[in-house]
A and B are shown apart, each in its own frame.
Chain A
Amino acid sequence: AQSVSQHNHHVILSEAASLELGCNYSYGGTVNLFWYVQYPGQHLQLLLKYFSGDPLVKGIKGFEAEFIKSKFSFNLRKPSVQWSDTAEYFCAVRGRQAGTALIFGKGTTLSVSS
């Protein structure tokens, strides 16, 4: 079955702490991977995506993610979080075929205290 698993439901950090959010997926075939952020009261925003090539991808706002094919993982990282990073983070996967829907993980709530 196709699925995305995000290990952390709620992460609480202090400003300047490092962040790593886990994401594992189960999907038959070649995939494209995504991380989205949803700030309170706002719609989804794309943070970064992996299609092919360098497995370490850099996104907006200082976020990066590493695709490890052997582990079916796509963990999100940020060296130093800010209070403004407080939000909900979703990992998503889809097949390479055109028109394939995104499958989302359940999300991780990140709370950053100043």
Chain B
Amino acid sequence: GAVVSQHPSWVICKSGTSVKIECRSLDFQATTMFWYRQFPKQSLMLMATSNEGSKATYEQGVEKDKFLINHASLTLSTLTVTSAHPEDSSFYICRPVGNTEAFFGQGTRLTVV
């Protein structure tokens, strides 16, 4: 079955630094990748949709200059949280678009101190 690898699984960074999260589809090509964010005790909220070879589209209220998304190949999409602040601490999850909704990345727990 389709496998999605998200890295790192957890990261602690200092306020003001940037963090890059990678999401790889290991055995299929994903032209589209969804990025979600989940705050504690809350649901997953769609942040942005990345498309291979083109600019990502962001949901309302998500700063595109803060959350940089790159989808340079059909198997890799990256989310970079720039100048991270404590309020960015959250669980970030990717999901490539395929023929099933079963596969999500393992998620990245980001803690900004």
Contacts and interface: CB of A to CB of B under 8 A. Distances in A.
B10 to A, nearest CB: 11
A90 B101 contact: no
Nearest to B106: A43
A106 interface: yes
Interface in B36-91: 36, 41-46, 49
A102 B32 CA distance: 13
Interface size class of A (residues with CB under 8 A): 10 to 19
A44 B104 contact: yes
Interface string B11-40: 000000000000000000000101010000
Contacts, number: 42
A81 to B, nearest CB: 21
Contacts of B45: 104
6 contacts: A32-B101, A43-B106, A49-B101, A101-B49, A102-B46, A102-B95
Contact of A43 (B32, B97, B100, B104): B104
B34 A90 contact: no
Interface residues of B, number: 20
Interface string A31-65: 01010000000011110010000000000000000
Given A44-B93, A102-B34, A107 B43 contact: yes
Given A43-B104, A43-B105, A43-B107, A99 B97 contact: yes
B34 A101 contact: yes
Given A43-B105, A43-B106, A46-B101, A104 B93 contact: no
A32 B49 CA distance: 19
A45 B34 CA distance: 16
A90 B44 contact: yes
Interface string A61-97: 0000000000000000000000000000010101000
